Amino acid sequence: MADTSIPSGLPGAWALEARGLGKRYRRGWALRDCSFRLPAGRICGLVGPNGAGKSTLLGMTTRQVEPTEGELRIFGVAVGEASVMPRFAFLGQDKPLFKRFTVAETLRMGSELNPGWDMAAAERIVRSGDVPPHARVGTLSGGQRTRVAFALAFGKRPDLLLLDEPMSDLDPLARDEMSTLLMAEAVERGTTVVMSSHMLTELEDMCDYLLVLAGGRIRMAGDADALVPAHTLVTGVTRDGRLPAGLDGHTVIENRVQGRQFQAMVRPNGPLSGDWQTSEPSLEEVLLAHLRSPDAPPLYTPGARVGAEGTRTA
Amino acid sequence: MSTTPTGTPAARTTRPRLLRGLSWLVLRQHRTTLICLAALAVLGSLWIVYQRGRLIGLLDTAGWPEQDVALPVVGQQYSYLTLLLGSLPGVLAVFLGAPLIAADSEQGTAQLVTTQSVTRRRWLIAKLGWCFLITLAVCTTLSAFFTWWWTPYRSVLSDQWMDGTVFDNTGPVLPALALFLTAAGVTIGALLRRVLASMVVTFAFCVAAQVAWDVSREYLAPARRLTYPLDEELPARLSDAYELDSWIATADGQLYGWGTCVEATEKASAACIADTGIVSNVYEYLDYSQMAAMQWTAAGILLAGTALLTAFVLWRSSRRPL
């Protein structure tokens, strides 16, 4: 899948491009040395433990947080410029809406504040969920409110849709409904989607691109299809309670020793040979291994890394 | 981007839209507040008209101004009215100014609006613009009505022109004071980002500002001084004047405190006066004719403060999120 990672050099080919991006709060750096590229048209999962910097990154992308250093571009336009605003839509974690507005008024707000508003699309999304248009938003159920928030986001006709834990407060049925809606709308319009989530399975189903953050730094960035095969799960017998020397030349992300047995997540730097068993890990296993080992060297698939000028040695 | 026209089915846009964009949003969001304030302006004005009518009736029966009337001619209602007008700037600051931005920060709707295609600055300008406009309209209306009542009948009304109940409630001061305190409430709300906290702090600020304002009111115009012979009464034209201080003085202008020669007996007093050479009274005052200039000076100061606070909020919003 590496071919899709390298679009032509046009400035708009990258939905999101960060160079040396960082944000320092009073308590310290929430995000630092963040450099990556996201090609247009992908569904990107933003993964990381709590406090990893996911919300900070989304906040900087949506102009809610001012970067301390570095630069961030959406389709080639710096986020500081007002002209970037019609190009993205954001759905926050608690999906704030005006509670006293009716659903119809909420959609009218979208049409009043957005130049490219598509009322037909927004109304279609609301109607397909049987949300009464004259009900006040405050009286709707969680699933219905999320649907209205989705309608507001998609009615904007964004090129980049940013979602912060979009499904976290939904019951399984509503969650399924919303993911279907999200995928259908995104595919139909070719919208680039960035969604942060705790649900690893959800990401596995929906995302074809991954951005893994931990401790305010990028751990992995790139095609989901290329990130997983870069790893191998090795199971074997320990030598004197340590990993066999045959693994020394490779990058060991994480290893666990149980009795005389070890299991290690390895990023091979060449052919792996030895008296052990290898298997291909699942996406979830790779992600967990990286999240548990914040000191492992970060991995970028080709194209996800930006030029050296923005990347500093850690 | 999208070529779909905004109002596809005909049924939706049957009514022409008077308000568009951010103005519509701001007025829709604060619809209840707007209705309450409009009602307050209308009912308050009607109340003033009614009270004024009653006063005129009463004075006509008494044959005023040819004959004197027994004071006070106005009852409890007048006190309630001045109390209402006097507390209006504070009420607007606490209930309109403080939650204006704080509520949107707290409920996340600030994020909702500013991730549509409008910048924080444009949204704030719309919010502050409408908030100030409404404050100005309500307070100007009530102030105009109250001034229209008070000015011709001030001699029979109990309070003096320098009293807060008159000076702050008439002319340009009421709207200017309301704008300043509301802007302070907005600023506090933008800084604290919590509705309740900013309302409490705004209330405390209003009380402090009111105290400071009461103290500084008499410095709004240069004091005038009148020297007149010791044995004469104060000239009648100064019956409206607001006394700042008074002394007794010698011929060469040396001032003595008012009680310098207050002695037990008249003889002793006269001796003291002759002894120190006191020949005149000195009266320092603000004249009623200075009131208009003082009120406009006050309004100017308050409006400058409003502009400063507003500029601060807008400047801060371009650097930091709400």
Give CA–CA dist B310/B306, Å, rounded: 6
Confidence at B154, pLDDT banded by 50, 70, 90:
confident
* Other CB atoms within 10 A of residue B56 CB: 14
User: Are B2 and A65 inside 8 Å of each other by CB?
Assistant: no
Give CA–CA dist A156/A309, Å, rounded: 34
Confidence at B115, pLDDT banded by 50, 70, 90:
very high
Note the pLDDT tens digit of each residue in A158-203.
999 999 988 877 888 888 888 888 898 888 889 999 999 877 777 7
Interface check A186 vs B, CB under 8 A: no
Give CA–CA dist A24/A68, Å, rounded: 6
A147 shares its domain with A293:
no
The verdict on whether omega for the bond into residue A294 sits within 30 degrees of 0, i.e. cis, is: no
- SS3 for B287? coil
Interface check A66 vs B, CB under 8 A: yes
Residue among A78, A72, A79, A75 nearest A310 (CA)? A72
> Is residue A1 in a domain?
no
How many structural domains compose chain A? 3
The overall average pLDDT reported for chain B is: 89
User: Which CATH number goes with the domain that contains A183?
Assistant: 3.40.50.300
- pLDDT for A308 equals 44
Say yes or no to pLDDT of B12 above 80.
no
- pLDDT for A11 equals 55
* Other CB atoms within 10 A of residue A260 CB: 10
Give CA–CA dist A241/B109, Å, rounded: 57
- pLDDT for B193 equals 93
Confidence at A302, pLDDT banded by 50, 70, 90:
confident
Residue A299, domain extent:
227-304
Confidence at A310, pLDDT banded by 50, 70, 90:
very low
Answer yes or no: are the C-beta atoms of A164 and A54 closer than 8 Å: yes
B-chain residue closest to A158, CA distance: B1
- SS3 for B105? helix
Nearest-Cα distance to chain A for B118, in Å, is: 6
- pLDDT for B277 equals 85
B-chain residue closest to A106, CA distance: B25
Interface check A64 vs B, CB under 8 A: yes
A178 shares its domain with A81:
yes
Say yes or no to pLDDT of B9 above 60.
no
Distance of CA A255 to CAs A261, A286, B104, Å? 10, 12, 48
Nearest-Cα distance to chain A for B8, in Å, is: 7
- pLDDT for A16 equals 92
A19 shares its domain with A79:
yes
> Is residue A294 in a domain?
yes
A218 shares its domain with A263:
no
Which range is most confident: A80-89, B93-102, B153-162? B93-102
Percent of chain B at pLDDT exceeding 70: 95
- pLDDT for A307 equals 60
Say yes or no to pLDDT of B13 above 70.
no
A143 shares its domain with A212:
no
Mean pLDDT, to the nearest integer, of A227-239?
86
Chain B window 28-47: which residues touch A at a Cβ cutoff of 8 Å?
A: 28-29
* Least confident span in A296-305, B108-117, B121-130, B222-231: A296-305
Mean pLDDT, to the nearest integer, of A214-220?
87
Give CA–CA dist A194/A42, Å, rounded: 8
A117 shares its domain with A263:
no
- pLDDT for A2 equals 38
Nearest-Cα distance to chain A for B305, in Å, is: 29
> Is residue A8 in a domain?
no
Picking from A193, A223, A253, the residue at the C-terminal end of a domain is A223
Picking from A110, A134, A156, the residue at the C-terminal end of a domain is A156
- pLDDT for A9 equals 52
> Is residue A62 in a domain?
yes
Partners of residue B119 in chain A, C-beta under 8 Å = 82, 85
Give CA–CA dist A9/B160, Å, rounded: 78
**Residue A247 or A157, more confident:** A157
Mean pLDDT, to the nearest integer, of B238-264?
85
Interface check B87 vs A, CB under 8 A: no
- pLDDT for A198 equals 77
A165 shares its domain with A195:
yes
- pLDDT for A166 equals 83
A69 shares its domain with A182:
yes
A21 shares its domain with A128:
no
Sheet holding B278-286, edge to edge: B224-229, B278-286, B242-250, B255-256
The overall average pLDDT reported for chain A is: 85
Say yes or no to pLDDT of B7 above 80.
no
Residues 6+ apart with CB under 8 A from B158: B71, B72, B74, B78
Q: Are strands A43-47 and A209-214 parallel, antiparallel or unpaired?
A: parallel
Nearest-Cα distance to chain B for A311, in Å, is: 26
The answer to whether the Cα torsion of B74, B75, B77, B80 is positive or negative is positive
- Containing H/E element for B46? helix B31-62
Partners of residue B30 in chain A, C-beta under 8 Å = none
Give the ipTM: 0.84
User: Are B117 and A109 inside 8 Å of each other by CB?
Assistant: no
User: Are A62 and B2 inside 8 Å of each other by CB?
Assistant: no
Percent of chain A at pLDDT exceeding 70: 94
- pLDDT for A135 equals 95
* Other CB atoms within 10 A of residue A137 CB: 19
> Is residue A312 in a domain?
no
Say yes or no to pLDDT of B16 above 80.
no
Mean pLDDT, to the nearest integer, of B17-34?
91
**Residue A241 or B236, more confident:** B236
> Is residue A135 in a domain?
yes
- pLDDT for B10 equals 41
Say yes or no to pLDDT of A274 above 80.
no
> Is residue A313 in a domain?
no
Interface check A105 vs B, CB under 8 A: yes
> Is residue A204 in a domain?
yes
- pLDDT for B219 equals 92
Say yes or no to pLDDT of B156 above 90.
no
Say yes or no to pLDDT of B19 above 80.
yes
Interface check B192 vs A, CB under 8 A: no
Tokens of B14: 């049957």
Mean pLDDT, to the nearest integer, of B108-115?
93
A26 shares its domain with A70:
yes
A231 shares its domain with A215:
no
- Phi, psi (deg, nearest 5) at residue B285: -155, 170
- pLDDT for B237 equals 83
How many C-alpha atoms does A6 have within 13 Å on its Cβ side? 8
Distance of CA A307 to CAs A164, B44, B218, Å? 28, 68, 68
Mean pLDDT, to the nearest integer, of B209-221?
92
Question: Which of B24, B109, B116 is facing A156, going by the closest CB pair?
Answer: B116
**Residue A155 or B1, more confident:** A155
Picking from A223, A257, A272, the residue at the C-terminal end of a domain is A223
Confidence at B6, pLDDT banded by 50, 70, 90:
very low
Amino acid of residue B235: P
Long-range contact pairs involving B65-68 (C-beta distance under 8 Å, separation at least 24)? B65/B155
Give CA–CA dist A167/A163, Å, rounded: 9
3-state SS of chain A?
Answer: CHHHHCCCCCHHHEEEEEEEEEEEECCEEEEEEEEEEEECCCEEEEECCCCCCHHHHHHHHCCCCCCCEEEEEECCEECCCHHHHHHEEEECCCCCCCCCCEHHHHHHHHHHHCCCCCHHHHHHHHHHCCCCCCCEHHHCCHHHHHHHHHHHHHHCCCCEEEEECCCCCCCHHHHHHHHHHHHHHHHHHCCEEEEECCCHHHHHHHCCEEEEEECCEEEEEEEHHHHCCCCEEEEEECECCECCHHHCCCEEEEEEEECCEEEEEEECCCCCCCCCEEECCCHHHHHHHHHHCCCCCCEECCCCCCCCCCCCCC
- pLDDT for B136 equals 97
Question: Which of A86, A97, A119 is facing B117, going by the closest CB pair?
Answer: A86
A80 shares its domain with A129:
no
Q: Residue B248 carries which DSSP code?
A: E
- pLDDT for B274 equals 85
- pLDDT for B270 equals 85
Distance of CA B34 to CAs A55, B110, B120, B282, Å? 36, 20, 23, 52
Distance of CA B303 to CAs A118, B7, B181, B316, Å? 43, 42, 10, 20
